[in-house]
Amino acid sequence: MAAARTGASLQPGTAPRPFDPKVVFGVLLFGAIAFVAALYFIGTGQTNSGTNDGAAHGAGKGLNGYAAIARLLEEDGHSVTLSRSQAKLKDTGLLILTPPAFADAQDITSTLNGRRYTGPTLVILPKWFASQTRPSLTGAAQDGWVALAGVSTPGWIAELERPFAMSAVISDMSREQIQWAGLGKTGRLPVPDKTMSLRGGDVRPLVTNPNGDALAGYVQDGARPAAAEPEFDDDGYRIDRDDNAGYDDAAFGGQYHGGKWPVIFVAEPDLFNNYGFADLARADLAHQIIHLAMGEEDLPIIFDLTLNGLGTSENLLTLAFTPPFLAATLCLALAMMIIAWRAFRRFGPPVAEGRAIALGKARLVHNSAGLIQRSQRLHLLKGPYASMIRERIVVALALRAPDDAAIDRALAKRMPEARSFSQCSADLRSARNPQELLRAAAALKSLEKRLTEG
């Protein structure tokens, strides 16, 4: 009756396994690997189409990009980072800025001023108008390849605050003459009739064109020791007295006035970009300028991509492993390990739910009894149960014309010590509560059982 009241029974150790543990483990392992991979790609910023978009920055692989020098510096043993976070603008090391033509002058000035006591800064001006080529048009173009459509000077260079304010000009040079000279080297540019240089401002030239205009130079504001003024020959070429172009390399290597680091501007991007790296002399010049900017120290090198519109906000992976979120991350990892252990090391065998209505006569009797008990109609069983037992006793005694008196006489002969049937039947019919009814029913059942088993 208890089973009928509570519904389905719980039978330990009889449940079939719905899933193979090996399959479950494989699914959990795949999910964990996918989750870690998602965190990795979020942390490294690889959640979009990529940074090789044909623009002039450290990740660009087109003619106007700077991926070549970034790879050269990396293979040279330097720590090179392509940064998409504005927080990196304040990190110690050499910061290389490649602002586009439409950059904000205020942002650039703020970045330069904020780094004077943090590390050197190299600013490469934009010159080329470029558009990505389509493989359907050329048949051989790769990702990031560009077509150069023209040149212009950036508007923001004249809007910089002092001491960085200066102007940029486009000039033509003859293909036959030496087009740049500096740091003890000379060479030619890829497109000499579209050369950009700096004029005005507090810029000391490092590399010049035949007119004496600076193709690359550093801001002279006390951040670097005074150097000898550049000298030029009768043809307008700068005279380099030694391999350091007339200034003290050793002094440039860290003994700065007031602790300031230098700021170097490169007006001619073809000295540094992938287009310029087609020539060994230009590549060697760019490499030497970067070493001079670092003061011959082994500093990490950061190519900023935020000014080119590729900046990203603080990612989830960085936050997860940064205090105070690190404590929550460790607690979450520990909880996941405990849950996984409990899932595969549960306490005891699995518990199965039995049938709502079990098979067999015994279960049918239990369910019927439970139904009668729940309906509180137990008193209605008095007469039918007494009549059923009476019929069984009559059959067991083989009486032809039975009545209660005949049954009592026959029982007295068979079982003299037993109570009479009429007394037991009267007790059952007069029972007032379930306890009395069960005792009387048990007495009748005992008479019938002794007759049938005896």
Contacts of 431 (CB under 8 A, 6+ apart): 379, 382, 437, 439, 440
Distance of CA 432 to the CA centre of its chain: 75
- 83 with 20, same domain: the answer is no
Peptide bond into 324 cis (omega under 30): yes
| pLDDT at site 314 | 61
The dihedrals phi and psi of 258, each to the nearest 5 degrees, come to 70, 10
Using the structure block, give the residue that is written with the tokens 């007495």. Answer: 443
Using the structure block, give the residue that is written with the tokens 């401002």. Answer: 201
Asked if the structure places residue 228 within a domain, the reply is: yes
DSSP 290-330: HHHHTTT----EEEE-GGGTT-----HHHHHTSTTHHHHHH
- 303 with 327, same domain: the answer is no
| pLDDT at site 264 | 92
Helix/strand/coil for 170: strand
Considering only CA atoms, which of 229, 248, 227 is closest in space to residue 239? 229
- 191 with 249, same domain: the answer is yes
Whether the CB-CB separation of 325 and 106 falls below 8 Å is answered with no
- 126 with 35, same domain: the answer is no
Asked if the structure places residue 367 within a domain, the reply is: no
Alpha helices in 78-206 (DSSP H): 105-114, 135-138
Cα 160–Cα 165–Cα 166 angle in degrees, nearest 5: 125
Provide the greatest CA pair distance for the chain: 156
Amino acid at 410: A
- 69 with 34, same domain: the answer is no
Asked if the structure places residue 202 within a domain, the reply is: yes
The DSSP output letter for 184 is: T
- 346 with 407, same domain: the answer is no
Helix/strand/coil for 10: strand
Domain residue limits at 12: 2-40+321-353
Helix/strand/coil for 255: coil
Give 426: exposed, middle or buried? Use CB within 10 Å, 0-12, 13-18, 19+. Answer: middle
Asked if the structure places residue 281 within a domain, the reply is: yes
| pLDDT at site 229 | 39
- 189 with 82, same domain: the answer is yes
| pLDDT at site 266 | 92
- 65 with 7, same domain: the answer is no
Considering only CA atoms, which of 205, 61, 258 is closest in space to residue 142? 61
Give the count of beta carbons closer than 10 Å to the beta carbon of residue 370.
16
| pLDDT at site 49 | 56
Asked if the structure places residue 361 within a domain, the reply is: no
Asked if the structure places residue 364 within a domain, the reply is: no
Q: How far is residue 82's CA from residue 241's CA, in Å, rounded to a whole number?
A: 36
- 184 with 71, same domain: the answer is yes
| pLDDT at site 213 | 86
Q: How far is residue 349's CA from residue 323's CA, in Å, rounded to a whole number?
A: 42
DSSP 213-250: -EEEEEE-SSSS---PPPEE-TTSPEE-SSTTTTS-HH
| pLDDT at site 411 | 83
Q: How far is residue 6's CA from residue 132's CA, in Å, rounded to a whole number?
A: 74
- 76 with 150, same domain: the answer is yes
Q: How far is residue 72's CA from residue 181's CA, in Å, rounded to a whole number?
A: 22
Number of domains making up the chain: 3
Considering only CA atoms, which of 446, 452, 396 is closest in space to residue 417? 446
Asked if the structure places residue 372 within a domain, the reply is: no
- 346 with 265, same domain: the answer is no
Considering only CA atoms, which of 452, 443, 453, 451 is closest in space to residue 414? 451
Asked if the structure places residue 402 within a domain, the reply is: yes
Segments of the chain scoring below 70 in pLDDT: 1-19, 40, 42-54, 134-141, 143-144, 175-177, 222-258, 311-318, 346-358, 454
- 196 with 255, same domain: the answer is yes
